[in-house]
Structure 1
Amino acid sequence: MPNSLPVIVGFGGYSAAGRSSSHQAFRRMILETLPAEEQVNTVVSLACLMAQVTKEGETYRDQQGAELSAAEVDQQFRQQVLDGTLIRKIELFDPANIPGHKKISFTDSPDQAVQFNMLKRDLPKVPPQSWQVRDLEDGNVEVTATGSSQYLIESPYELIAKAAGQLPSGFNPSDHYNSRFHPRSLQMALLGASDAVHSIGIPWDKIAASVAPDEVGVYSSSALSQMTEEGFGGLLQARLRGGRTTAKQVPLGLNSMPADFVNAYVLGSVGHTEAITGACASFLYVLQAAVRDIRSGRRRVAILGNAEAGVTPEISEGFANMSALGSDENLCKLDGTDTPDWRRASRPFGHNCGFTLSEATQYIVLMDDALAIELGADIHGAVPEVFINADGVKKSISAPGVGNYISFSKAVAAAISIVGEDSVTKHSFVHAHGSSTPANRTTESHLIEQVAIAFDIYDWPITATKSYVGHSLSTASGDQLVSALGTFKYQTIPGIKTITEVAPDVAQERLRFPLQDLDVSGNKMDVAFINSKGFGGNNATALVLSPTKVEEMLAVRYADQFNQYLDLRKVTRAAAAEYAVQADAAQLDVIYRFGEPLIEEAGVTISTEGVHIPGFARDVTFSRENPWQDMQQSAAAVQAQLDPLCVPD
């Protein structure tokens, strides 16, 4: 079908606010605004995820085995849930005691000769030339080092920024499947993609059987690769720490591995795969690729997203040396205190001093609208367009530039052409990049203000998810998108609650920055704009339509099938609700297909019509259409045109 609409039929993942599917993480962000019963359900589900309690039937048990009701879980563990989610002091390691080394030197002086004993077996294969080694008893040697020499001695150091957005306390992705040797970000990719697939409410096998194998695409990456011990982090550190590299660190460290893991271990897909990065805008880069392919008809199903485990000492120190992070010292200066307020470290559009690093994984599942109608998928929104533009010549690779003016204004213009001016000017909101740096608060607010002036928009609501979960690098705009889906569901825009006032240098004439949750039930949102700015000039803006608006559009396109679709959707919603109950009990049912029978290559058959792959309901078929047919003529016609030109004088 021409002009297929890419609709969101599933979403999942994990951030500092919790699990994305069934809006658990969104409910954590607007917890105090929710009705009392829904607050209890949210706290209890997070307590399960954080391994504070387990659920058996309708009964909960604490770590000592005592039976508890949901109300008792809420009463006993609410504060732990609140303290163990969102931005907080780093828990993954001790940020005040990072293992490190100090280089020391000894000069060439007889009075400063260094002498020590050690085991002979620990001698380096090639000892330094300045060492004189003498054998002792019991396998020891005496080493005398003369002349100039250098040594590394253990010397712990302290991070200047100790706040981060981390997965909820007590939630360890590796506990939920056999994760041996997997870097943390790949563990998160498996869990996030599994959550998204389960959230659809339609078995993956049924979806896969409904399309050709090459009509499925996976679009995923990590901007900084896998920098923990099991990936590039361990690879680069091993020899300097006196260790050895492993056979897995290079392949598992590649930034394309999230896509590879989803293909191999979640879906078992042989379809299209694409790993794109655009710094902090990477999620919108993979989203654009998926939207492009679904709109063109090349793909009918797309699983897309990112996973980033960026809370490591090295990455933190690197960003801190760029003066990009909000340091403890500067947070104290902002507040006039001696103790940093880590909970409020990220302060978009307020008085701020830098961004807050975080980790997250977010995945969504797109279908073309025809397949969604056919299968009875529950539609949570649609992404008709994503725009990406660079900055041109830059004075600094990390400085903002003009590209975002293009991407953002094109998104607004596209929205008006699709859903009309009224939906955009009166019923839209913006999920800003909102990184919490002084440069961002002025430049991004100014560009949004200029767009508002151009399209005659007033009182435009602007929110910033990073105030809750921090900056998860490649996954950041995924955090924004799933939050926008939450707004469509609950008709609440999360306030920027970490600031007490909007900074005076922020443009505000046409914009509205709510500092508390904003109820928009009386002015329901039709459109969300997801904006992202990445180092190097990676600017991207996505246009997202609400499920209500999408349903209105599809009811027109599929008038004859729509009632049947609504009946099928009831079944889908019931299945998705069953998974939500299970997942709220932290029974995540992570899909990990390692060890399943492989596709037998001997069973693959190729013909002039296509390729048959064992185990797949449909074949890959070859297209016979020539897209350049208008450029070709018969050989006789070409020769007839050339013959007069070839007559000799």
Structure 2
Amino acid sequence: MTRRVVITGIGVRTPGGLGTKAFWSLLSEGRTATRRISRFDPSPFRSRIAGEVDFDAEAEGFSPREVRRMDRATQFAVACTRDAVADSGLETTALDPARVGVSLGSAVASATSLEREYLVLSDSGRQWLVDDGFLSPHMADYLSPGVMPAEVAWSVGAEGPVTMVSDGCTSGLDAVGHGVQLIREGTVDVVLAGASDTPVSPIVVACFDAIKATTPRNDDPEHASRPFDGSRNGFVLAEGAAMFVLEEYEAARARGAQIYAEVGGFATRCNAYHMTGLKTDGREMAEAIRAALDEARLDRTAVDYVNAHGSGTKQNDRHETAALKRSLGAHAYDVPVSSIKSMVGHSLGAIGSIEIAACALAIKTNVVPPTANLHTPDPECDLDYVPLTARDKQVDTVLSVGSGFGGFQSAMVLHRPEVAA
């Protein structure tokens, strides 16, 4: 019999939301947290806005040595892990450490620290030959993405499988999907799973400027992220993280744990087509959705809410709309669909996990978060995108989808445990 996997703890750090309560308040109220970049001077760039997290490492309990050793994204992941474990009520010291794993996702890993250290070594790019006398003793930590999940593992004493998943913007979904599989196959009983990215740095901003993927709507940062709107012109870059405690269902129930949701199904596909391009028919995303529903043993009409990738680019929004119609059939027109990127921006590899947190909270509260800034729908995007205002609705089953550079398409189905009872 397949072991069932549930979410029993959540920790988040997002623009406008340090912690689960603040995060859900932002979403359910339809507020936005995008603003002019403050972490560096954005004046030279085409897109000068982002979703920044007001994160204070000292206030979060990190020592000066830890701050120096850990990249900002790693700090986010560890802080969220601490919150998720506390939220779950799990006593990690009472667990067999070999039966506890970590699965962490990130698209750009320690890019923030790598850029900072390069600027020091090269005297802000003035020196072609860098002076290794200025080399940080922690440079190896920044170069190796695997250090990020290792830090998470050390924070909870996990000695089971520790994995880094880095496949662009689906990393957050895929990392949780991998953690679910570890429990289902019996390798571990508990996994700390999620994702973290802090890409609001000059090099990443410049990269997205070069391909014109981010919005130049700098005069109105709060309303710049406009998924499915006819006036959208690119996504808003962001940073953030979300971590979860995943447990085997019977063990969680036996200890009386709160259960946010069961992960019923997960699937990922690749279009093997183009690094940034998407086929118009949405076939690969539709196939991932079909496979995830099949694994959850649910009919497509069981989906009560779709948490969309909804990046706010014309190519993605139209591709995703086609994929939902292809996979859900006529039900695609009846089910509410929304994008929280309209409020917290696009944090690359982290956003998939942040969206899983939103899905779990939608199930808990029976509230569908809105798509902010959606005033004039694109005629080619003709589904119910829950414009502007959250909606009270019985939410038993949620579908969350992600799309990433490289052609990655992922889907996850979350539901109340009673749905599969």
Asked if 1:532 is matched to 2:412, the reply is no
1:87–1:94 distance in 2 versus 1, CA, 3 Å: same
Which residue of 2 is the match for residue 238 of structure 1? 120
In the alignment, is the contact (CA less than 8 A) between 2:370 and 2:391 conserved in 1? no
Letter paired with 1:240? S
Larger radius of gyration between Structure 1 and Structure 2: 1
For the residue of structure 1 that corresponds to 2:276, the secondary structure is coil
Asked if 1:250 is matched to 2:140, the reply is yes
- Rounded Cα–Cα distance in structure 1 between residues aligned with 2:7 and 2:414: 10
Which residue of 2 is the match for residue 516 of structure 1? 388
Letter paired with 2:121? R
- Rounded Cα–Cα distance in structure 1 between residues aligned with 2:57 and 2:284: 37
Deviation for aligned residue 1:481: 0.9
Deviation for aligned residue 1:520: 3.2
For the residue of structure 2 that corresponds to 1:481, the secondary structure is helix
Deviation for aligned residue 1:202: 3.1
Deviation for aligned residue 1:276: 1.4
Q: Deviation per CA, 1:172-221, whole angstroms, max 9, x where unpaired? A: 23432203312211111111111111111233223x1xxx3322110114
- Rounded Cα–Cα distance in structure 1 between residues aligned with 2:245 and 2:366: 22
- Rounded Cα–Cα distance in structure 1 between residues aligned with 2:28 and 2:390: 10
For the residue of structure 2 that corresponds to 1:307, the secondary structure is strand
Q: Deviation per CA, 1:321-380, whole angstroms, max 9, x where unpaired? A: 0111111xxx3xxxxxxx721111111111211111100011011101121122211110
In the alignment, is the contact (CA less than 8 A) between 1:223 and 1:255 conserved in 2? no
Which residue of 1 is the match for residue 109 of structure 2? 225
For the residue of structure 1 that corresponds to 2:191, the secondary structure is strand
One of 290, 308, 321 as aligned partner of 1:409: 290
Letter paired with 1:399? G
Which residue of 2 is the match for residue 359 of structure 1? 239
Asked if 1:346 is matched to 2:228, the reply is no
Asked if 1:162 is matched to 2:34, the reply is no
One of 291, 295, 302 as aligned partner of 2:191: 302
Give the number of aligned pairs: 405
In the alignment, is the contact (CA less than 8 A) between 1:492 and 1:517 conserved in 2? no
The TM-score normalised by the length of structure 2 is 0.91
Which residue of 2 is the match for residue 503 of structure 1? 378
**% identity of equivalent residues:** 23
Gaps of 5+ in 1: 33-81, 97-157, 332-338, 555-649
- Rounded Cα–Cα distance in structure 2 between residues aligned with 1:426 and 1:281: 24
- Rounded Cα–Cα distance in structure 2 between residues aligned with 1:427 and 1:184: 36
For the residue of structure 1 that corresponds to 2:59, the secondary structure is helix
Letter paired with 1:436? G
For the residue of structure 2 that corresponds to 1:533, the secondary structure is strand
Deviation for aligned residue 1:525: 1.3
- Rounded Cα–Cα distance in structure 2 between residues aligned with 1:279 and 1:427: 26
Which residue of 2 is the match for residue 377 of structure 1? 257
Deviation for aligned residue 1:553: 4.4
For residues 83-122 of structure 1, the aligned pairs below 5 Å read: 86-96=33-43
Q: Which moved more, 1:345-354 or 1:235-244?
A: 235-244
- Rounded Cα–Cα distance in structure 2 between residues aligned with 1:464 and 1:325: 16
Q: Deviation per CA, 1:299-318, whole angstroms, max 9, x where unpaired? A: 11010111111000110011
Which residue of 2 is the match for residue 123 of structure 1? none
Letter paired with 2:175? V
Which residue of 2 is the match for residue 4 of structure 1? 3
Deviation for aligned residue 1:165: 0.6
For residues 274-313 of structure 1, the aligned pairs below 5 Å read: 274-313=163-202
For the residue of structure 2 that corresponds to 1:259, the secondary structure is helix
- Rounded Cα–Cα distance in structure 2 between residues aligned with 1:441 and 1:249: 39
Which residue of 1 is the match for residue 312 of structure 2? 436
Which residue of 2 is the match for residue 315 of structure 1? 204
- Rounded Cα–Cα distance in structure 2 between residues aligned with 1:553 and 1:397: 38
In the alignment, is the contact (CA less than 8 A) between 1:166 and 1:358 conserved in 2? yes
- Rounded Cα–Cα distance in structure 2 between residues aligned with 1:482 and 1:501: 28
Letter paired with 2:36? K
Deviation for aligned residue 1:552: 5.8
1:321–1:174 distance in 2 versus 1, CA, 3 Å: farther
- Rounded Cα–Cα distance in structure 2 between residues aligned with 1:321 and 1:436: 17
One of 67, 77, 87 as aligned partner of 1:180: 67
Q: Deviation per CA, 1:234-266, whole angstroms, max 9, x where unpaired? A: 3433332156221212223322222011111x1
Which residue of 2 is the match for residue 425 of structure 1? 301
- Rounded Cα–Cα distance in structure 2 between residues aligned with 1:311 and 1:457: 34
- Rounded Cα–Cα distance in structure 2 between residues aligned with 1:90 and 1:234: 17
Which residue of 1 is the match for residue 153 of structure 2? 263
Deviation for aligned residue 1:226: 0.6
In the alignment, is the contact (CA less than 8 A) between 2:374 and 2:388 conserved in 1? no
In the alignment, is the contact (CA less than 8 A) between 2:51 and 2:344 conserved in 1? yes
Letter paired with 1:285? D
The TM-score normalised by the length of structure 1 is 0.60
- Of structures 1 and 2, the one with the larger relative CO (CA 8 A, separation 6+) is 2
- Rounded Cα–Cα distance in structure 2 between residues aligned with 1:504 and 1:519: 22
Which residue of 2 is the match for residue 57 of structure 1? none
In the alignment, is the contact (CA less than 8 A) between 2:99 and 2:159 conserved in 1? no
- Rounded Cα–Cα distance in structure 1 between residues aligned with 2:310 and 2:57: 28
One of 341, 360, 378 as aligned partner of 1:466: 341
In the alignment, is the contact (CA less than 8 A) between 1:306 and 1:361 conserved in 2? yes
For the residue of structure 1 that corresponds to 2:212, the secondary structure is coil
Q: Deviation per CA, 1:493-539, whole angstroms, max 9, x where unpaired? A: 11112121211222x2xx31111334334xx1111111000100111
Deviation for aligned residue 1:457: 4.7
In the alignment, is the contact (CA less than 8 A) between 1:223 and 1:282 conserved in 2? yes
C-alpha root-mean-square deviation of aligned residues, in Å?
Answer: 2.0
Letter paired with 1:407? A
Letter paired with 2:39? L
